[in-house]
Structure 1
Amino acid sequence: MFGFPIEAVIVAVLAAIAAGFIRGLAGFGLSVVLVPVLQLAIAPSAAVLVGIVSLFLIGLTDVNRIRRDADPSAIPITLLALACMPLGLWALVTLPPAWARMLIALVSLGAFVLVVVPLGKVALPRRPAMALSGFFTGFFGGFAGMPGPGMAPFYLRGRLEPKVARASMMAIFLVLTPIAAAVFIALGIGGRSEVELAALLFPAVLVGDWFGHRAFGRVTPRQWQVATALVLGGAAVGALYKLAS
């Protein structure tokens, strides 16, 4: 189906429902959940492109929420991410797989630590923190189709209320993903089959996202932070497992 084995499509649909739920609840995490699972069934570069297109499609459903709730910090972070995304794409196509896996594992673990470990008085000023967030968001958007871990520490450790942090991350995804997908296709790193698979998965992502949005309205800010930290923790564990194996 669409150039992929039927078994791969079934796995992808189930993963898309789970990934959509996480994205609806946390504001990010769709690619963090979807891409590693897809890589078990299709080529890694194809999985990254499917994840990027899926992020864009689901982002279109949240335009009103983004316009209403997003923080202005999303603008400079997006611009920096766009500038740094080519570096991530270059790393994707040139680094040996072992180095790539190690890099993803280290950054996934680092993002998790930055979110959950109390840092006391150790904190970056806002502008340097935004600069680092923009760099890692762009790099890992191009490198692994996972911009979320790059921006999550900035928004989860900040003083923004959850709905504002969540909408800000959604805004960044909405701008980055179509550009990243266009670059991937222009460079021949995937094409029509991946776009068609993402379109096929969209209803499943939409169902999961709907349930995630409903769950978000019923949790406290603390519960939201814990849920998003668990997403990053799961990504770090998965990356470390793949590195060890």
Structure 2
Amino acid sequence: MLAGIISLAVFAAAVLRGLTGFGFALAAVPAMSFVVSPARAVAIAILLQCLVGLRDLVTMRALIDRRALALMSAGALLGTPVGIVALTRLSPDAMRMVLSAIVVVGLLALLARVRLPAGRGPAIGAGLLSGIFSGLAAMPGPPAIAYFLGRAVPAANIRASLMVFFFLTSLMALPGLYLAGRLDTETGLLALTAFPALLAGTWAGGRAFLRLGEGGYRTAAIALLALTALATGLKGLAAFL
């Protein structure tokens, strides 16, 4: 029963991932946190992104922005341990509030069409913030999305670069999660069980991306992220009332 619910949440989030190149953890972690602790949901999401990332790296290597990814990865390497420390210090309900806040940040970045100037500083800075978000909640998305959407490149290149970047940040988070005791047998089995759902959802989202083209995916992403932020925030807030 638990594995089925996790797989359903992963499939729905993977459709968003395949459609936009981002949003998997933003949708999957809050959804999974309804049936498992937020910390375990984070660990499952990171394991899944590591598993699928190897395939993305091979299939999308011609589309990725290698220079931007290198600079952002350097920043993320510094920020990830900070996020992991925060993950070990917060209660589950506080984590839900943090998750909701991060999703809202992502929404605001999309709605405001935040633009960051090209260059080494913004890339490293976006990577640093992404690393903090990744270690805390498996959600490196908002800063990375703001950076890539602010550059005049085709949607296909943005999508590919984001998917590979999230793979790299997930790899960086694994050692810290292991040292923090967040990786155990049950977590690994839940991730493996949900992996087919991740592949199926990513494929379905990719087909939708081809149909929608350059701009149509934005509306779908905003709608799902808004629902995720609302549901997760209300559950976390209820514990403090």
Q: Do they superpose with TM above 0.5?
A: yes
Q: Is residue 74 from structure 1 mapped to residue 74 from structure 2 by the alignment?
A: no
Q: Indicate the residue corresponding to 1:142 in structure 2.
A: 135
Deviation of 1:98 (Å): 5.5
Change (3 A) 1:124 1:174: closer
Q: Indicate the residue corresponding to 1:237 in structure 2.
A: 230
2:14 to 2, 6, 20: 20
Which residues in structure 2 correspond to 1:80-91 (within 5 Å)? 80-91=75-86
Give 2:43's aligned amino acid. Answer: L
Q: Deviations over 1:180-215 (max 9, x none)?
A: 123212321232221121111111111111111111
Alpha-carbon distance in structure 2 between the residues aligned to 1:24 and 1:203? 14
SS of 2:61's partner is helix
Q: Deviations over 1:8-53 (max 9, x none)?
A: 1111111121122111111122222221122111222111111101
Alpha-carbon distance in structure 1 between the residues aligned to 2:205 and 2:127? 26
Change (3 A) 1:129 1:98: farther
Q: Deviations over 1:94-125 (max 9, x none)?
A: 23556544443333222211221267xxx543
Q: What stretches of structure 1 of length at least 5 have no aligned partner? A: 1-6
Deviation of 1:69 (Å): 0.3
Alpha-carbon distance in structure 2 between the residues aligned to 1:217 and 1:211? 10
Alpha-carbon distance in structure 2 between the residues aligned to 1:134 and 1:117? 20
Give 1:147's aligned amino acid. Answer: P
Q: What stretches of structure 2 of length at least 5 have no aligned partner? A: none
Aligned length: 236
Which residues in structure 2 correspond to 1:1-245 (within 5 Å)? 7-71=1-65, 72-97=67-92, 99-117=94-112, 123-127=115-119, 128-245=121-238
Alpha-carbon distance in structure 2 between the residues aligned to 1:208 and 1:62? 14
Alpha-carbon distance in structure 1 between the residues aligned to 2:76 and 2:227? 24
Alpha-carbon distance in structure 2 between the residues aligned to 1:192 and 1:199? 11
Give 1:30's aligned amino acid. Answer: F
Equivalent pair of 2:96/2:236 in contact (CA under 8 Å):
yes
Q: Deviations over 1:192-243 (max 9, x none)?
A: 2211211111111111111111111111211023333334434433443234
Give 1:82's aligned amino acid. Answer: L
Q: Deviations over 1:152-200 (max 9, x none)?
A: 1222233221110011111112222123123212321232221121111
